Amino acid sequence: MGATIRDVAREAGVSPATVSRVYNDSAPVREETRKRVLATAKRLRYVPNGTARSLSINKTHVLGFVLPEPHREFFSEIIRGIDETAHQAGYNMLVSSTHNRLENTHAALRVLRGRVDGLIVMSPHHEADLLMESLSPRTPVAFIMTAVGETPYDAFQVDNEGGGYEATRHLLEQGHRRIAIIKGPDDNLDTRERLAGYREALREAGVQADPSWELSGAFTRESGIAAAERLLELDPRPTAVFAMNDYMAFGALGAFQMAGLNVPGDVALVGFDDIMSAQYVNPPLSSIRVSSAELGRRVTQRLLDLVGRGSGLPDDPLRIKMATQLVVRDSSQISASG
């Protein structure tokens, strides 16, 4: 075993209380005593046990973060914002991934209970009220990109509908009328919202939406390829495609070029997320930028506020929508076609 506070106290000829005071500056300690305690601690290689301390002061200085997968570029940008903000406030981050499985999410929440001062949950496939039973009423929670409905939790979302609208509107403005869309999984909140934006833009422009142009994907490059291949068989073929994320757009781009089509000459393409690679592909991909790091910062800031306030649920739950921004590059501009 490592040395405990009692070992140090005994060896230094003081009480555990005094050792604690030395480590926390929580009360005056005679300079000579302090030195003796620290010397003894060093000799015994004593380091306070964080778990015991947490239990005692009922505070962990840890924020929990439950998300589908930690490594996707988009998520990892959010992590960056969270980490930055949490770190500044002296908090650490306990990350748990769920792979979009409801039971994993429940398990993760239960594991985190009592280990974290606050919780950030990203659950794009499952609604917040399904998770309530695994949430402690005492631990503040903020949701990201999750359907919170009327639940009394803070919610931070990307303005997916606005983004979908912007992307489609941009294609319409380029003169396109036959605009296909490559969707994510149908039960995904982002999918539903971006789709709504797409349809709204079409409706507003007086273009009839055609269900056969709404293809399902899985947010992966492969599913983008598959969707593009199905699009190639349509007659008439769409002249523009809006992919609900950049990975699928990359897949579609490759498939179109493989089939001898010119992008944007034969088919214009817009993605979503504006991940780093978007600017490097050929042609550079137009996309919808989301301030993910900023989202992470804001949600963390809010959570830290709640934690500091000591109240579990906010009096007045937030409903934040982060605006998106259209980034036009060559993949959607006929003028820049080659």
Partner DNA sequence: TTTACAGATGAAACCGGTTTCATTGCCATT
Partner DNA sequence: AATGGCAATGAAACCGGTTTCATCTGTAAA
Q: Residue 96 touches which of DNA, a copy of itself, none (CB < 5 to 8 A by kind)?
A: a copy of itself
Torsion of CA 303, 219, 332, 321, to 10 degrees: -20
Q: Residue 79 touches which of a copy of itself, DNA, none (CB < 5 to 8 A by kind)?
A: a copy of itself
**17 lies in the binding site for DNA (CB under 7 A):** yes
- Interactions with DNA, residue window 107-136 (CB under 7 A): 114
Angle 280-285-287 from CA coordinates, rounded to 5°: 125
User: Smallest gap, in angstroms, from Cβ of residue 54 to a copy of itself?
Assistant: 5
Q: Residue 111 touches which of DNA, a copy of itself, none (CB < 5 to 8 A by kind)?
A: a copy of itself
Q: Residue 18 touches which of DNA, a copy of itself, none (CB < 5 to 8 A by kind)?
A: DNA
- Interactions with DNA, residue window 45-84 (CB under 7 A): 46, 48-49, 52-53, 55-58
User: Smallest gap, in angstroms, from Cβ of residue 113 to DNA?
Assistant: 9
CA distance 229 to 304: 47
Backbone angles phi, psi at 202, to 5 degrees: -60, -50
For tokens 């979009």, name the residue: 100
**43 lies in the binding site for DNA (CB under 7 A):** no
Angle 267-187-152 from CA coordinates, rounded to 5°: 125
- Which positions ≥6 away from 322 have C-beta within 8 Å? 156, 157, 158, 159, 290, 291, 294, 295, 298
| 332 close to 172: Cβ distance less than 8 angstroms | no
Which residue number, 138 or 319, has a Cβ lying nearer to DNA? Answer: 138
| 95 close to 83: Cβ distance less than 8 angstroms | no
Which residue number, 201 or 275, has a Cβ lying nearer to a copy of itself? Answer: 275
DSSP code string of 178-228: -EEEEE--TT-HHHHHHHHHHHHHHHHTTPPP-GGGEEE--SSHHHHHHHH
CA distance 149 to 118: 21
**16 lies in the binding site for DNA (CB under 7 A):** yes
User: Smallest gap, in angstroms, from Cβ of residue 279 to DNA?
Assistant: 49
CA distance 221 to 214: 17
User: Smallest gap, in angstroms, from Cβ of residue 103 to DNA?
Assistant: 21
User: Smallest gap, in angstroms, from Cβ of residue 161 to a copy of itself?
Assistant: 27
For a copy of itself, the binding residues (CB under 8 A) are 1-2, 45, 47-55, 60-62, 69-71, 73, 76-77, 79-80, 83, 87, 92-97, 108, 110-115, 134, 136-138, 250, 276-277, 280-282
Which residue number, 1 or 315, has a Cβ lying nearer to a copy of itself? Answer: 1
User: Smallest gap, in angstroms, from Cβ of residue 36 to DNA?
Assistant: 9
User: Smallest gap, in angstroms, from Cβ of residue 203 to a copy of itself?
Assistant: 34
| 64 close to 112: Cβ distance less than 8 angstroms | yes
**39 lies in the binding site for DNA (CB under 7 A):** no
| 118 close to 89: Cβ distance less than 8 angstroms | no
**Binding interface with DNA (CB under 7 A):** 1-2, 4-6, 13-21, 23-24, 26-30, 32-33, 46, 48-49, 52-53, 55-58, 114
